Amino acid sequence: MLSVTKIYNSCPIIFRNRQRQGSGSPYVYIDVMPGWLPLVSDLCAELEQVAHVQMANGVTQAELPSVRSIKTKFCQLRCSISGRNIDHLIACYCEKAKHICEQCSSDINTGILEFNETYLLLCERCVMQFRSRL
């Protein structure tokens, strides 16, 4: 099963600043619902590959991709990631997220559900399940 910890562990270069110096608290965080974890994992894997290529080409560590946060806000994927020549890659994944259910990863018939001033991007099946629990 995919987890945030697995994503962190599979991409040591882009998460090299994960812990604050002298602190056990995380400096980097991923905060998305389960349906977007595969998308985030794919984004991180691509960024890690970019970092390997950049390292081989002599890019300094300070210029390598480094993740600060990946989160959901108003049904959109928001990424705070520094690095050279990665904006197009991040934009591509943010665009993909606009069509993927945050709960189950389905890309079929997704729409925004508003509940108690919280917005969720869900497929029809997950909307039905959500409403049945109310």
- pLDDT tens readout for residues 11-40: 999 999 876 555 555 567 899 999 999 999
Structural domain spans, the chain: 4-98, 101-134
Which whole number is the average pLDDT over 110-130?
94
- pLDDT tens readout for residues 43-62: 999 999 999 999 999 999 99
The whole-angstrom separation of Cα 128 and Cα 132 is 6
DSSP of 20-74 = -TT-SSBSSEEE--GGGHHHHHHHHHHHHHHHHHHHHTT--GGGS-EEEEEEEET
- pLDDT tens readout for residues 62-96: 999 999 999 999 999 999 999 999 999 999 999 99
